[in-house]
Structure 1
Amino acid sequence: MAVARGPQKYYRWGLLAVFCVGSVAIIWSARVVLLPFVFAIVIAYLVAPPVEWFVKHHVHRVVAILLVYAALGMVITGVIVYMVPLWVQETVKMIHLIPALTRQLQQTWNYWLMRFHQAPMPLSVRRAIDETGVRWENKLFGLSKTVLSTLFGVLPGLLSLIVSPILAFYLLKDMERIRARFWQVIPVKWHAEVYVLGLDIDRALNGFIRGQLLVALVVGVLSGLWVGILGIPLALLIGAIAGITDIIPYVGPIAGALPAVVLALDRSSWTAIYAVLGFVAIHQLEGTVIGPKVMGDSVGLHPLVVIFAILAGGEIGGVAGLLLAVPATAVIKVVMAHLYRRLTI
């Protein structure tokens, strides 16, 4: 029996490896339809602590979930009642301003183009400037298409938010059953170690989600304040756009700043320059101080590690890599720490 146990052990490990690889392949193939489930997990992470608090105080789990949902519904209703009408009014104002701003931009462009062609300069210099202008015009056109496609690509995600609370409800409702099934799969001798590992991963991911929301809130508030200081209209709407789009790496800050810069041009060129400088400063502050500090504290990573993870994630996986870089690094750190302790005991 002792001889046969070794091959059986390797056979079980082989089956487990095949199962894990197959599961990852299936999830990757179905990643397009996983967005509502991702949102549901995020909602469950945010809602779980108050739900568990009610459960500990002898409130039925379903009643606890409904109570927390009711409280969130009241907050969301308050935002809709008091804030959305203001956002709608400012959006209507922006739509009415767009034709006039477009005409002003066209006139300014034509004026400087005329001045350029009237200026005396060597033909080679003029040709080089023309070619550079064409290249930058193509780049700006491509950037505009990227911004618009990204914004329209967010719409399915917003629609997924409608389904996500329902999925999150079932996750929270069946949390005990899910945990029981999970522990049935894990060998008994691993329970203590896996429990500690899962607790550390849960703490890191939970902190990441809250940290991401906090960073977006800070960026939105700072953007709205700066626009208001410059006297640019629709500061409330611009701040909301900047906060929401901040979760989109690279493209998000440009999309959030674009309405402010366009509206600033209606006042003066210097106001537009100040708006650009202000948004650059805000996102530099976010990228080098606020984001790394908040996210680093949330997931237990040094700010330098957070910056490196974001840059490496963007290089490896593009937008998805940017979004998943910090939580993946946090999980890897937790797993490696547990493996190190396991191997050095």
Structure 2
Amino acid sequence: MYELAAVILVLIFAVLFAYVVAPLVQLAERPIRIATRRWRLPRGVAIVLIYLLMAGILSIGGALLLPSAGEQVDDMIASAPAYAQSVVAWERDWSGYYDRLRIPLELRRNIDQSVLAAGQAAVASSRASLFALAGALSNLPWLMLIPILAFFLLKDAVSFRRSFLTALPHRARLHGHRLLEDLNATLGAYIRAQLLACAVAGIVCGIGFAVLGVPYPLLLGALAGALEFIPLVGPLVVAIVASIVAALHAPMLVLWTAGFLGTFRVVEDYVIYPRLIRRG
């Protein structure tokens, strides 16, 4: 049962990957004029060319970013005891703040429970992300099948569509063709827009955290990009995690972090994402 689920998941990711790569393949397939003749790359060659280009970009990006990411992970592990002491000191200061304001006991409990629940949710989300990453690395052979399957999906997409339409009754073929065209356009636009939104969120948040001085901007930016795919919950978890990290570094930094994330969320949801959908 587990292997069947893994196969289905790989097929789904292969379809998603094919939708992402398809516009680039179409661009590479465009005919070019050399002298008096028009040349056009075969579809298989165009796909391989795009794969090589993407592999080169990923290799360069990994060579540039992985050392910094490794340093930030090491620094985070080394700073864990200091962060624990900061939490203890923060809890002591928080209790004194309660006493100065003479906050009722019931309200104190509600505030403490809310803060505790938010912290537990952030820790659980971070732990789940680490487990998911570890699981993805353990299933690396399965993940390597994604671009391979996507290659055949891209190469034989026309044949697959023709076979599907041929299997339909003659009267339903025109309707089926239109349905496939609409479904393909809508699904492709959504997937590409969603992945571009993840990339925008990761890059903007990473740069923003670095400018504000929030620790581990590369890791937090990567987390923001990955969780952007999950509506509502993903950005909320990023805000909680980033606020906790900022608070442990400098309490006033929380306000700047929250303001930055709030502003970015408004711009992302009402300006960037609608344009990505329209252009997808």
Report the TM-score range of the alignment, normalised by the length of the smaller protein. Answer: 0.7 to 0.9
Alpha-carbon shift at residue 107 of structure 1 (Å): 0.7
Question: Which residue number in structure 2 is paired with residue 185 of structure 1?
Answer: 167
1:278 aligns to 2:278 (yes or no)? no
1:39 and 2:13 aligned:
yes
CA distance in 2: counterparts of 1:149 and 1:104, whole angstroms: 21
**1:54 alignment counterpart:** 29
Secondary structure in 1 aligned to 2:79? helix
How many corresponding residue pairs? 265
Aligned to 1:132: 110
Between the aligned partners of 2:10 and 2:166, the Cα distance in structure 1 is 27
The verdict on how the C-alpha distance between 1:230 and 1:134 changes in structure 2, with shifts beyond 3 A counting, is: closer
Between 150-159 and 254-263, the greater mean CA deviation after superposition: 150-159
Q: How does 1:93-104 map to 2 (within 5 A)?
A: 93-104=75-86
**TM-score normalised to structure 1 length:** 0.66
Q: Is 1:239 matched up with 2:221? A: yes
Q: For each residue in 1:107-160, what CA deviation from the matched residue of structure 2 results, as whole angstroms up to 9, or x when unmatched? A: 1112221453x4585xxx633124313532553355236524642564356746
CA RMSD of aligned residues (A): 3.0
The answer to whether the 8 Å contact 1:43/1:165 transfers is yes
Q: Deviations over 1:42-65 (max 9, x none)?
A: 111122334355397554443333
User: Contact 2:121–2:237 at 8 Å: present in 1 too?
Assistant: no
* Residues 70-128 of structure 1: per-residue CA shift (max 9 Å, x gap): 12111111111122222222222222223212211221112221453x4585xxx6331
SS in 2 for 1:249: coil
The normalised TM-score by structure 2 is: 0.79
Moved more, 255-264 or 36-45: 255-264
Residue among 259, 269, 287 paired with 2:269: 287
Check the 8 A contact 1:261/1:276 in 2, yes or no: yes
Query: Structure 2 unaligned runs (5+)?
Result: 32-38
Question: How far apart in 2 are the matches of 1:149 and 1:251?
Answer: 15
Task: Compare relative contact order (CA 8 Å, sep 6+) and give the higher one, 1 or 2.
Answer: 2
Contact 1:36–1:157 at 8 Å: present in 2 too?
no
The correspondence of residues 1-345 of structure 1 with structure 2, limited to 5 A, is 34-52=8-26, 53-54=28-29, 58-116=40-98, 118-119=99-100, 121=102, 126-137=104-115, 139-140=117-118, 142-144=120-122, 146-148=124-126, 150-152=128-130, 154-155=132-133, 156=135, 159=139, 161-295=143-277, 297-298=278-279
Which ranges of structure 1 fall in alignment gaps of 5 or more residues? 1-29, 300-345
1:44–1:168: 8 Å Cα contact kept in structure 2? yes
Q: What's the CA shift for 1:229?
A: 2.6
Give the distance between the partners of 2:78 and 2:93, measured in 1 at CA: 24
